Structure 1
Amino acid sequence: MAARKGGVSLPERPYSGGRSDGILSRVSTTISQSPIVFQGKRAACNTAFVAKKLLRSTGKAAWIAGTTFLILAVPLIIEMDREQQLNELELQQASLLGTPQK
Structure 2
Amino acid sequence: MASPARKGGVSLPERRGHSKKENNSIISKLSQSKLVSRGKLAAGDAAFVTKKLLRSTGRAAWIAGTTFLILVVPLIIEMDREQQLNELELQQASLLGTPAMGPPPQK
User: TM-score w.r.t. structure 1 length?
Assistant: 0.74
Aligned residues between the structures:
86
Map of 1:1-102 to 2, 5 A cutoff?
14=14, 16=16, 18=17, 26-100=25-99
Q: Give the 4+ runs in structure 1 shifted more than 2 A.
A: 13-16, 18-21
| Displacement of 1:59 | 0.5
Amino acid at match of 2:79: M
Amino acid at match of 1:94: A
- Structure 2: stretches of 5+ with no match in the other structure: 1-10, 100-107
Q: CA RMSD in A?
A: 2.6
Amino acid at match of 2:93: A
- Structure 1: stretches of 5+ with no match in the other structure: 1-10
Cα deviation digits, residues 55-83 of structure 1 (max 9, x gap): 00000011111111111111111100000
Task: Determine the C-alpha separation between the residues in 2 that align with 1:20 and 1:53.
Answer: 43
| Displacement of 1:99 | 2.1
| Displacement of 1:15 | 7.0
Larger radius of gyration: 2
Amino acid at match of 1:32: S
Structure 1 or 2: more helix by fraction = 1
Q: Look up the SS of the partner of 2:73 in the other structure.
A: helix
Structure showing greater relative contact order (alpha-carbon pairs closer than 8 Å, 6 or more residues apart): 1
Q: Look up the SS of the partner of 1:99 in the other structure.
A: coil
Q: Look up the SS of the partner of 2:25 in the other structure.
A: helix
User: TM-score w.r.t. structure 2 length?
Assistant: 0.71
Amino acid at match of 1:86: L
